[in-house]
Structure 1
Amino acid sequence: MRKIIKIAFIASVVSAACTVTAQENAETNDNHATSSFVKRQVAQNMSIGRAVKSIASNYPQETSSVVSTALDMYPDKYQEIIHAAISAQPMLTEDIVKIALEKEIASCTAIVKTAINAEPSYVDFVVTAAANSTPEELNEIVRVAVITEPDSADFIVQSLAQQHPNKIVDILGSAIGAVPLVGEYVVEALLAVFPNDAESVVSTAVRESGAQRDNVKRIIETAQNFGLDEKNIYKYAKEGGATDEEITAALREVSEQ
C-alpha cells in the first residue's frame, strides 16, 4: 500500500511539474507570437505607434499584451506606444498606465503626463493608477496632473483624496501650489466628499493661496456657499493666514449677493 501511495505521489508531482512547464512554454510561445506580430505590423506601418494603434483597434483583447511587448521592444518609444494604445482603447487607460509603470521605462510623472495627453477625460484613472503603483510620488503626480489638465483639477484631487484620505492636505497643497487658480474648485470638490475635514481643507487652501489674495477671497466665498458656518469659516481662514479684513469682506460679499 505504501508503495502504491508513493508512486501516486510521485506521479502527481511529475504531472504538476509538466503542467507548469507546459504553461511556461505556452506563455513563451505567446510572447514570441506577439513579438513577431508587432514586428510585422511595424514593418507594414512604419512606426510602432501606428502598429500598436492598429492592433489595439482590431484586437482590443490583446491590447495589454501588445503594449507590454512593444514597451519591451521599443522602450525609447514609450510616449508613442502609450499614446497610441490609450487613443485606441481609452477604457484600458488604467491597465496601460500600470504596465508602463511596472516596466520602469520612464519616470512616473513622464508616464502620467503622456497618458493624460492621450485621453484627458480619463485623467482620474491615470492618477489613481499612478498613485497606487508609486504612492511615494503622490505629490509629484498631483502636480504634473493638475498642470497638464488644470480643467480637471477637481476630479484629480477628489479621486486621489478618496484613494488616499490620510493625504488630503498634501494633495490639496500640491494642486494649489501647481496651479493657484484651481483653489476654489478643489476646495468645493473636497468639501463635497469630506465635509468633516472642512477645517484642514479650508485652512490648507487659504495657506497655499497666500501669494494670491484674490484666490484667498474666492476660497472663503466657496466655503460659505457650501454652507459652512461663518464662525467656523472665520476660524479656519485665520488658521490659514487670512486677515480679519479679508474674511469679513468675503463673507459680506457673499451675504449681499
Structure 2
Amino acid sequence: MLRTLTLLSAALLASQVSYVAMAQDASSNEAIQPSTSASVEKSVEESNRFQTAFLKRQVDQTMSVGRAISSIAGHYPQEIVSIVDIALDTYPDKYREIIFAAISAQPSSTEEIVQLAIEKEVSSCPNIVQLAIKAEPTYVDFVVHAAAVSTPEELDEIVRVAVLTQPDAADSIVQTLSQEHPNRIVEIMTSALNAVPFVGEYVVDALLAVFPNEAQTVVETAVRESSEQREQVIRILSTAQHAGVTHDKLKEYAMSAGLSEEDFDSAVAN
C-alpha cells in the first residue's frame, strides 16, 4: 500500500510538472497566439489541482503536513515554494508547522516563504518573523529583509521581535535593515536597544562599519538608549573610539545624548 501511494504521488508530481511546462510554453507564445491565454489559465488550474492532490496524499501517507513538506522538499527542492503556497491554502490552521518544516528543510527559500506567508496573512508579520527565525536562525537577515519589504509599516515590531528571538544576531539585523531604510536608523536602533539593551556596542560597531558618516546619529542614539546602564555606555564609547571616532567628537556626541562631562571622562578612562 505504501509503495502504491508513493508511486501515485510521483505520478501526480510528474503530471504537475508537465502541466507547468505546458503553461510556460503557452505563455511564451501568447504574443503570437492571444487565444492561448485561456489555455494557460486552464493549465495553471490543472497544475494547482494536481499539486493539491499530491500534497494531500503525502499528508495522508505521513500523517503530518510538516512531515509531508519535509519529504517533498527533500525530493523536489525546486518545488518547495509552490508546495508551501498550496499547503497554506489547503491547511491554513497548520501554518506554523508548514512554515517551520519548509524553512528547516529548504533554508535557501526562506525569503520567498516568508513573503508568501505574509502575503497570505496566515498570521501577523511579527509572528511569522519569529517562527521563521526559529526554524533557521542563520537566515535571520533574509527573514527581516522579506518582512520589512512586505510590511514596512511594521518595521519597529519586526526589529523588536527579531532581536528578541535571535539576540546574537542583533548587530546583523540592525545593519541589514538600516541599509535598506537609511532614513530610519534611529528608529531601528531604538527598537533594538529597547528590546535587548546589552547589544549596544555590537550595534554601534556594525553601523559605523557601513555608515561612517553617521557617527553622530549612531553614537548619540546608542548612548541615549543605554544611559541607565553605565557599563553599556562605556562599551559603546570604546567601540566608537576604536571605529575611528575622535575623542573630541565622541565627547560631543555623548554629551548631546545627555551624558555629563564627568560621566564621559569616567567612561573613556576605562
Residue 105 of structure 2 corresponds to 88
Distance 2:241 2:263 in 1: 14
- Of 52, 56, 79, 1:35 maps to 52
Determine whether 1:154 maps to 2:166: no
Residue 67 of structure 1 corresponds to 84
Deviation at 1:227, TM superposition (A): 1.6
**Is the alpha carbon distance of 1:13 and 1:118 closer, same or farther for their aligned partners in structure 2, counting shifts above 3 Å?**
closer
Q: Cα RMSD over matched residues?
A: 1.4
1:34-64 deviations in Å (ceiling 9; x for gaps): 1001100000011111111111111011111
| Cα contact 2:233–2:267 (8 A) shared by 1 | no
Residue 227 of structure 2 corresponds to 210
Residue 167 of structure 1 corresponds to 184
The one-letter amino acid of 2:151's match is: T
Determine whether 1:122 maps to 2:139: yes
- Of 74, 77, 92, 1:57 maps to 74
| Cα contact 1:216–1:242 (8 A) shared by 2 | no
User: Percent identity, aligned pairs only?
Assistant: 57
Deviation at 1:162, TM superposition (A): 0.9
Deviation at 1:235, TM superposition (A): 0.7
Deviation at 1:213, TM superposition (A): 2.1
The one-letter amino acid of 1:197's match is: E
If the length of structure 2 is used for normalisation, what is the TM-score?
Answer: 0.87
1:94-113 deviations in Å (ceiling 9; x for gaps): 01101101100100000000
Residue 62 of structure 2 corresponds to 45
Deviation at 1:65, TM superposition (A): 0.5
Distance 1:180 1:14 in 2: 61
Deviation at 1:15, TM superposition (A): 4.0
- Of 196, 210, 224, 1:179 maps to 196
Deviation at 1:250, TM superposition (A): 2.0
Worse-superposed segment, 215-224 or 188-197: 215-224
Structure 2 unpaired stretches of 5+? 1-29
Deviation at 1:130, TM superposition (A): 0.3
**Is the alpha carbon distance of 1:13 and 1:158 closer, same or farther for their aligned partners in structure 2, counting shifts above 3 Å?**
closer
If the length of structure 1 is used for normalisation, what is the TM-score?
Answer: 0.91
Q: Secondary structure at the match of 1:227?
A: coil
Deviation at 1:216, TM superposition (A): 1.4
1:181-236 deviations in Å (ceiling 9; x for gaps): 00110010000000000000000111111222221121111111112111110011
1:142-166 deviations in Å (ceiling 9; x for gaps): 0000000000001101111111111
Distance 2:251 2:226 in 1: 16
- The total of aligned residue pairs comes to 241
Determine whether 1:228 maps to 2:245: yes
Distance 2:32 2:125 in 1: 43
The one-letter amino acid of 1:196's match is: N
The one-letter amino acid of 1:172's match is: M
Distance 2:96 2:156 in 1: 22
1:111-139 deviations in Å (ceiling 9; x for gaps): 00000000000000000010011000001
Distance 1:82 1:209 in 2: 36
Distance 1:200 1:218 in 2: 17
